[in-house]
Structure 1
Amino acid sequence: MNPHTPGNLNSLQLGQVTDNADPQERGRVKVRLFSTAMELWASVVAPSAGTNYGASFVPRQNEIVVLAFVTPELPLVLGSLWSGGTSRPEDADPQEEHYVIRTPEASVLDFDDGDSGPKIKLTTRSGYQIIIDEGNGGEVTIERGEQSVKLSSSGIDVRSSGSVNIDASSITINSATVTVNASMSRFSGVVQADTLIATSVVGSSYTPGAGNIW
């Protein structure tokens, strides 16, 4: 039998992806086998694959993959191999407590099960981050440059180098005290208070009434 025919492909094989645009839209990739001169379309094994749900990690062109043959005509891609050099993401840690998923566009999902406590970090190419850290009492942080929101056991911290806008039909604040540090606070409309204590009052007009000093 010709060694280049599918009939002899009954073991694990290595190959290189040459195309991942499946004309039948079945999620297959075309692979050139290293052991023969042939190319074939192969389905990709996934952790979960159902109707409108599942995990999709389709190998890209030039990735080195491992194939198994259920039958000579039914190849399956079991996974991909790091090919040395710079192929492995620099974020990946050889120790078992560090797991990384990195996309070709440099989006990184980092799972760290280190001694300080489990941590999950999502980072985009521009450096925007979402960090969930169960260490140090537990923190959730959203960062975009100099802007950040941090939720921790001690409270919520919002930082911004620009403006912070809240738009809602109504806002209710329940607190023993509210402190505002600003050179000027401006309110439009009516300000109503049960008790007002001020060291000085400046206004263009003043309406006397019950309880007012005039």
Structure 2
Amino acid sequence: MRKICFATNNQHKVTEVWQLLKPDFLILSLKDIQCFEELPETKDTLEANALQKAEYVLNNYKTPCFADDSGLEVYALNNEPGVYSARYAGLQRSSDDNMNLLLEKLKNVKDRRARFRSIIALIGLGETQLFEGIIEGEIMYERKGTGGFGYDPIFKPLHSTKTFAEMTLEEKNALSHRAIAVGKLVDYLGKL
């Protein structure tokens, strides 16, 4: 079993990814490697943020790792909130505040098309690699479901009757942007 750090403090993400990688990999969280500080996320693209976080862990904890950055991109809002998805409504990083702001901005907008995009940066196991996952969908007019996290209650993937928040973890993992990116990561790791 290979050990690799997922550079995040978000236990929801760790659980989602662990479901996709077991039993071949043991996913170490930041807590597991005794990293308790906030990772830097100061770049203006998902790719650059993912790399920045992964490099920080490798340089400071000497552990192979992967880091992700994900964003919700709403076409009618010029791809907002994008790289600022977690702090869209402010530095308090409140999912409720973020959803309220987004729904307010879309109040009179008919075009509700959006996509979730996830980038995973892998370093410490040969050449640096980037993996992208995208899921197209739309923003609902109101919240539906109690599962998931972030914008899940207002995002409904294309060809689905449920929002991410109405899905089981297994249903979401079968089609989420992160699952797509992690699938590419797993394929790559399997060839090492």
Question: What TM-score, normalized by structure 1, do the two folds share?
Answer: 0.20
Relative contact order (C-alpha < 8 Å, sep 6+): which is higher? 2
Larger-gyration structure (1/2):
1
**Larger strand proportion, structure 1 or 2?**
1
Question: What TM-score, normalized by structure 2, do the two folds share?
Answer: 0.22
